[in-house]
Structure 1
């Protein structure tokens, strides 16, 4: 073989090798792109193609208490069932309601349900009087005073106005000096009442339970309002319980750096937008000059913005070491959040949330 033939052979070999490398890279890129697209749009595609269902099968497992309050319509009940883990999606349950020959009316009260029920099984259970629990109220974490009293009224058959009047009588409840609201002081749990329980007795029971929890955790009376204020933000901002301590650390870090807390939950609460289910705050809420808006005022808000549970309180008392000063939820289904130490990292995380929102419309964005 002459020199020219050997040179041509080497060139041919290099071209083949380069072609193979390009093919591998292209395939790898396609796989990577496919994985990215599937992670964002796969659930919707699977549902649309009939590969998966937006509904569970069967009668469920375990036990869950769901409360239906006065005036709730089918869409509200569907959302409550999804939030409690009873049905797979609110859409499946609501579509079932719309398919009924006659409109379904729900009686306020607490209902004994199961987790992961089919929509039909859940509807059947709600229409079975045997599942309605007399004088029982289940209060989830993160509800406001207004929402909590509605749940107690529905579950315990106590007039709402009677409960509201009792909640306003703060001085009779044994709260620390200077506390002018029971916001944050109504401990979330499942309560059983007597048929004769009054509104004042019911509110006192919830407050006394919160004080008992604070005592168990070693919180001094003079520190309780501050702890509950921080814990209420942690409860509303933290998507997953395992992230609660890191959210508490972010609060402490921002205060230590004399930064605005800039917690959307506080702006929404102060402006009255805390119940709309969106992670985004309006410009009006962010700019409103009220004592809860941490986009306007440095430090903690005037007081708690919701009723925190034990996990959120414990997180405030035991935050981990860390330099995080930003965080944002990037998956509203799982509650996953990304914690950052720089503005650049935080902006990248916000872009990740925007991508998730684009792929999951009507899910809290």
Structure 2
């Protein structure tokens, strides 16, 4: 979005920051390995003691923008270890810094403690009250209350950390996970965590750092929810888990990746698939479309294995047209709607409500004659298909037909494959006065919408702070 921080800005902090560890790179595909067995890392020492209790955040959510805060989401009690850890991550500001520089605002006072009691006083209180709580609460009720309301302080005092990894090879719920050509360890770690396969990004990333010879084969893979990092990575090495009868294209994928997934899934040579996609008009796509980008509907398709590349591409295009027809989009409007929807898909994160608010930002800018200033479109035009980070020089290059900073209106075509939610948002923007938006937590997709440049700059600084708060956060900011 307009005036988002550049990659150079984010990693030029005022004080020196230790260089982050490079993610493990992908090497050539390995030979088939033996089936996965789960490894059981250490468990939470309080798992049995406080089973059945639910921690609460007694401090409550703090505003991300001070007096211009976005509406806070309704919080519910975490129901799983993964939810509990993510709740702790949000409470700590997304990644490990206790100095208030994590990208999430905290209520503050003049002491610099951001609304928290001084550490020594808090620990002294715990030393005095914790034994009393545990002794007097013979039936466990008082102890459970103390745990539910002061878990963070108790863990800090006792040195007990939440586990960051599951201990099983899955819970039986199947998940299809895509691996793109060129994905490195950090990419796979994010994919597995976001799909609900692994508990955290760190668990997989750390495992790959310790096992640098691991490599990945592009394609779709059948895994399960709640797998340990070791079992998930091992499953991605086992050819038996590679899906060959189901073609999965995910929302927000770009055309080159989609063609590779088609080739990997079907066994059709990539060159043949690319050649089949060279003439988009052969599939009924408008002549103004520079490619099939945006016209393949992202979904799971059951294939017989006998289809040609042309037949598969026609199936995907026809499915997109069917969905556009269901939304009431006339054939002459298809290109404009898909272009808008693809930008919304890439820019909006995971909160479906944000899709409609992002659509409103872009529509307000179009209506007021303001350039869209989407970093996602600029990056696409430079060939950086898997990032929304851009440089000053890239944003100034008017020769890029996808550059919505230097050129007015929409880019010349879609920048990815939009799904139904993005299409619906493009057709039905939310009501609102916003002209800017910026995500302030790339792991959760939390986004701030603003009316003024000053509000937007404050939110952009939150993103810079979040990116610098931890290695895990930095992996999302590349």
- For normalisation by structure 2, the TM-score amounts to 0.63
Contact in 1 for aligned 2:218/2:261 (Cα 8 Å): no
| Aligned equivalent of 2:432, options 289, 300, 322 | 322
Assess if the C-alpha contact under 8 Å between 1:142 and 1:306 holds in 2: yes
Aligned length: 328
1:64 to 150, 175, 181: 175
Alpha-carbon distance in structure 2 between the residues aligned to 1:129 and 1:180: 36
Q: Is the 1:69–1:154 contact (alpha carbons within 8 Å) kept by the matching residues of 2? A: no
Q: Which moved more, 1:206-215 or 1:75-84?
A: 75-84
Inter-partner Cα distance in structure 2 for 1:325 and 1:135: 45
Q: Is structure 2 residue 475 aligned with structure 1 residue 363?
A: yes
| 1:18-29 equivalent positions in 2, closer than 5 A | none
Rounded to whole Å, the distance in 1 between the matches of 2:117 and 2:392 is: 37
Match of 1:307 in 2: 417
Higher relative contact order (CA 8 A, sep 6+): 2
| Counterpart-to-counterpart distance in 1, 2:436 and 2:412 | 22
1:74-131 CA distances to partner (integer Å, 9 max, x unpaired)?
Answer: 555434323433223444224324545x944544432211223211221343344442
* Larger displacement relative to structure 2 (120-129 or 65-74): 65-74
Shift, 1:216, TM fit: 1.1
Post-superposition Cα deviations, 1:167-202, rounded to whole Å, max 9, x if no partner, equal 112121012343331111011111222222211111
Aligned pairs for 1:152-167 within 5 A: 152-167=262-277
| Equivalent residue, structure 1, for 2:395 | 286
Q: Does the aligned pair in 2 maintain the 1:55–1:119 contact within 8 Å?
A: yes
| Native 8 Å contact 1:149 1:160 kept in 2 | yes
Which residue of structure 2 lines up, in the alignment, with residue 117 of structure 1?
227
1:347 correspondence with 2:430: no
CA distance in 2 between partners of 1:68 and 1:227 (Å): 28
Q: 1:131 aligns with which of 237, 241, 244?
A: 241
2:254–2:385 CA contact under 8 A, matched in 1: no
Which position in structure 1 is the counterpart of 2:115?
Answer: 32
Q: Distance in 2 between matches of 1:345 and 1:151?
A: 41
CA RMSD of aligned residues (A): 2.7
Once the two structures are overlaid, the 10-residue window that deviates more, 341-350 or 76-85, is: 76-85
Larger radius of gyration: 1
Distance 1:317 1:161 in 2: 36
Question: CA offset at residue 33 of structure 1?
Answer: 5.1
TM-fit CA distance, 1:28 = 8.4
Structure 2: gaps (5+ residues): 1-107, 119-151
The Cα shift of 1:261 comes to 0.6
Match of 2:358 in 1: 247
Q: How does 1:138-177 map to 2 (within 5 A)?
A: 138-177=248-287
Does residue 80 (structure 1) correspond to residue 184 (structure 2)? The answer is no
Q: 1:359 to 1:250 in 2, by over 3 A?
A: same
Change (3 A) 1:309 1:50: farther
| Alpha-carbon separation, structure 2, partners of 1:76 and 1:216 | 35
Distance 2:403 2:414 in 1: 12
Deviation at 1:140, TM superposition (A): 1.2
8 Å CA contact 1:96, 1:119 repeated in 2 = yes
Matching residue of 1:296:
406
Kindly tell me: are residues 180 and 246 of structure 1, through their superposed partners in 2, closer, same or farther at Cα, counting changes over 3 Å?
same
Cα–Cα, structure 1 residues 59 and 107, in superposed 2: closer, same or farther, change >3 Å? same
User: Which consecutive residues of structure 1, in runs of 5 or more, have no partner in the other structure?
Assistant: 1-24, 36-41
Q: Provide the TM-score with structure 1 as the length reference.
A: 0.82
Q: Determine which structure has the larger helix proportion and give its number.
A: 1
2:322 and 2:265 mapped to 1: Cα distance? 23
Note the alpha carbon deviations across 1:253-312, whole angstroms, 9 max, x for none: 00111001101001111112232x4x4311222112211100000111111111111100
Matches within 5 A, 1:85-234: 85-100=196-211, 103-234=213-344
2:372 corresponds to which residue?
A: 261
For residue 338 of structure 1, give the secondary structure of its aligned residue in structure 2: strand
